[in-house]
Amino acid sequence: MTPTIADAIAQLETTIPLSKAASWDAVGLQVGDRGAVAGTVGVCHEASGEVIAAAAAAGCDLLVSYHPLVFSPLRGVVAGASVAGRVFELVRGGVALYVVHTAFDVAEGGCADALAESLELIDVSGFGPTWPSDAAKIVTYLPSDAVTVVAGAMWAAGAGDVGGYSDCSFTIEGQGSYRPGEGTSPLTGTVGDLSSVPEVRIEMNAPQSRVDATVAALVAAHPYDEPAFDVYSARANAGFVGRIGSFNGPLSQLQQHVATSLQTDVRRAGDSGGDTLRVAVVPGSGSSLMSAAASAGADVLVTGDVSHHRANEAVERGLVVIDAGHAATERPGIARLYSLVSTTFDGTVDLTHLDPTPWEAE
Q: Over 80: is that where the pLDDT of 344 sits?
A: yes
Distance (Å, whole) CA 240 – CA 150: 33
* Average pLDDT for the chain: 95
DSSP string, 142-201: E-GGGHHHHHHHHHHTT---BTTB-S--EEEEEEEEE---TT---SSS-TTS-EEEEEEE
pTM: 0.86
Residue 354 neighbours by CB distance under 10 Å: 18
For residue 269, what are the β-bridge partners?
Answer: 321
CB 333 within 8 A of CB 111: yes
pLDDT at 362 > cutoff 70: no
Burial class (CB in 10 A: 0-12, 13-18, 19+), 32: buried
- Please give the backbone phi and psi of residue 255, each rounded to the nearest 5 degrees, phi first: -60, -45
Among 103, 99, 98, 83, CA closest to 23:
103
Are 5-100+331-350 and 135-233 in the same CATH fold?
Answer: no
Tell me the per-residue pLDDT of 32-53, one tens digit each, with 9 for 90 and over.
999 999 999 999 999 999 999 9
**For range 334-354, the mean pLDDT:** 96
Which has the minimum average pLDDT: 61-65, 271-275, 281-285, 355-359?
Answer: 355-359
Question: Domain 135-233 class?
Answer: alpha beta
Q: Alpha-carbon distance 296 to 116, whole Å?
A: 15
d(CA 10, CA 297): 38
Q: Where are the domains of the chain?
A: 5-100+331-350, 108-131+239-324, 135-233
CA distance 12 to 110: 12
pLDDT digits (tens, 9 = 90+) for 262-314: 999 999 999 998 899 999 999 999 999 999 999 999 999 999 999 999 999 99
CATH (residue range 108-131+239-324): 3.40.1390.30
Fold of 5-100+331-350: 3.40.1390
